[in-house]
């Protein structure tokens, strides 16, 4: 997501009342510095497998949405942290 796309996404989400969002451009597989624990994490691209650091940055009951796998098989996952 470039700066222009991020601005458009932020405006659309602000319009529907979602204002507590942290955006990160680039490689987010090491997690987000600051702000954790999160209610939800969305990874906007496919990755080979789910990094433990992303799971560890979720609040209890928090959700991680990610596409895992490579060509030709990929799976959409929603992971919920329990405990």
CATH number at 22 reads 3.40.50.150
What pLDDT score does 45 carry?
Answer: 83
Mean pLDDT of 3-20: 87
Checking if the pLDDT of 1 tops 70, the result is no
Checking if the pLDDT of 26 tops 80, the result is no
Per the structure, the count of domains in the chain is: 1
Two tokens, residue 20: 């507590």
What pTM does this model have?
Answer: 0.79
76 sits in which H/E element: strand 74-80
| Cα(41)–Cα(32) distance, integer angstroms | 10
Q: What is the 8-class DSSP label of residue 64? A: E
What is the residue range of 61's domain?
3-80
Backbone angles phi, psi at 48, to 5 degrees: -65, -45
| Cα(28)–Cα(3) distance, integer angstroms | 16
What pLDDT score does 6 carry?
Answer: 80
What pLDDT score does 7 carry?
Answer: 87
Mean pLDDT of 3-16: 87
């Amino acid at each position: 997501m470039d700066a222009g796309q991020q601005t458009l996404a932020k405006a659309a989400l602000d319009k529907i009342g979602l204002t507590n969002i942290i955006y990160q451009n680039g490689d987010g597989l090491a997690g987000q510095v600051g702000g954790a624990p999160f209610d939800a994490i969305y990874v906007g691209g496919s990755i080979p497998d789910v990094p433990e650091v992303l799971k560890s940055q979720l609040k209890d009951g928090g959700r991680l949405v990610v596409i895992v796998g490579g060509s030709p098989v990929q799976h959409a996952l929603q992971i919920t942290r329990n405990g």
